[in-house]
Chain A
Amino acid sequence: MRLTAEQRTEMVKKAIMCEQPERVPVICKQEPSFAIEYAGYDLKTALWNPDLIVKATDKMYTDIYCDAGGNMPRFPLLYKTSGSRAFVPRELDDFVQHPEVEGLLYEEYDEYIADPFKCMVNTIIPRLYPKLAEKGPVGSLNFLRVMIADNQLKSKYLAGCAAVEKKHGIINIRRGAIEAPFDFLADLLRGFTGISKDVRRDPGRVQAAVEATLPVMYKLAKIVNPTPGIIPSLFIPLHMPSYMRTKDFEKLYWPTFKKLVDDLIADGYTLQIFFEKNWTRYYDFLQELPTGVIAYFEEDDLGMAKEKLGKKLCLMGNFPITMLRLNSKQECIDKAKEILDKAAPGGGYMFCMDKSILSLADAKPENLIAVCEFVHEYGVYK
């Protein structure tokens, strides 16, 4: 039985707010690159043509059940035009990857702390996007090229996806993405290696830099998702905590992240937060988060998460996509049933994979189809 967009909106809103809906919502985590391959298009050709990605998404939504989705691909045109060192289209098919980079040198911390945005423009962007920093009108024209490309590609993609979602009655539950202040500093500014050293040799500067980043992320959130509400949620993928000592997390990561979450929820937003890797040792912290958070877990057992966090947070995730690749259809269905039996009772839960499905090599389509259909049929609240 296919549901209407109104029914889906209602049940997703209830689940996010930790209430019990009619059914367990099925959330799509297939990336556009999976849709392209599933529909039989050449990946490189489609990554340069939003219309093809939209057609592929239409095919995917026709065949694979879901209630809600929402994503934004990385278009190679932007990164080629800007000479990006931070996001690099790979030679084979222009799929965009992100190598380890150091956009901010250790000796530039004070410049960043004094005025983060000025430092981004003057120092970090020229280092990571050299074509944007070429002298004279060449650099200015490159900046314009990238802004025009960004505008054209995203407008076309979003309009196309909105039409496809309307056709299938699927709702978009995600709009805009930001980062935890510490992750923003770690990912492209200092890099994994740099930040790991800084935490030990100069935690005071790291703390000051993270605190300077907090208002940047807050402002960004209001711009990339200008309409607070239960849906669409802001997306926040969390990266570094699994690699940190708990005492460093408590001092350097948690305070600004918690403040960001609290402030945005108080403003009326909901947040889809991807807790990458395993977060069990941080549950005492997560218990402080407010309702309005969709806790999207990768490795955490949802039974334990339900017990410790399920009264306040909406849970989703944890179905291992490796099973879709390696196991039989029945084994995949059994795993989905096991997760639903633990996480669904009482509501406040949405079914979802443990991570995004990037390509056909990640998941056998017949297994994915079987699991999504099973959850839709089995996940009914009586």
Chain B
Amino acid sequence: MKTEILHYWEEGKPIPGYKPEEEEIVKDALHDVEDALFAFIVGLLY
């Protein structure tokens, strides 16, 4: 699912504010936050 306003680490394209070499350390934690934010907001609409 593509959206402009969630920040996911895409292939070779770090999330703004992070360096490519940090991917292994930070990616999962950042994605968990984005997922929870996504589910919370969509959850308000059903």
Binding site for B on A (CB under 8 A): 82, 84, 86, 103, 115-118, 120-121, 124-125, 128-129, 147, 150, 177-179, 183-184, 187-189, 215-216, 218-220, 223-224
Contact = CB atoms under 8 A, between A and B. Distances in A.
Interface of B: 1-6, 35-36, 38-46
13 contacts: A84-B44, A115-B5, A116-B3, A117-B41, A120-B41, A125-B44, A128-B45, A177-B46, A179-B46, A187-B46, A218-B1, A219-B1, A219-B38
Contacts, number: 60
Contact of A220 (B2, B4, B5, B39): B39
Contacts of A219: 1, 38
A177 B43 CA distance: 9
Contact of B44 (A82, A115, A187, A215): A82
A262 to B, nearest CB: 17
B2 to A, nearest CB: 7
Nearest to A187: B46
Contacts of A125: 41, 44-45
A224 B39 CA distance: 7
B1 to A, nearest CB: 4
A168 B41 CA distance: 35
Given A219-B1, A223-B35, A117 B44 contact: no
Contact of A86 (B6, B36, B44): B44
Nearest to A178: B46
Contacts of B43: 220, 224
A189 B45 CA distance: 8
A215 B1 contact: yes
A117 B44 CA distance: 12
A118 B4 contact: yes
Contacts of B5: 115, 117-118, 121
A178 B42 CA distance: 10
Nearest to B3: A117
B35 A129 contact: no
A184 B45 CA distance: 8
B44 A128 contact: yes
B40 A147 contact: yes
A82 B41 CA distance: 12
Contact of B3 (A118, A178, A223): A118
B40 A121 contact: no
A216 B38 CA distance: 9
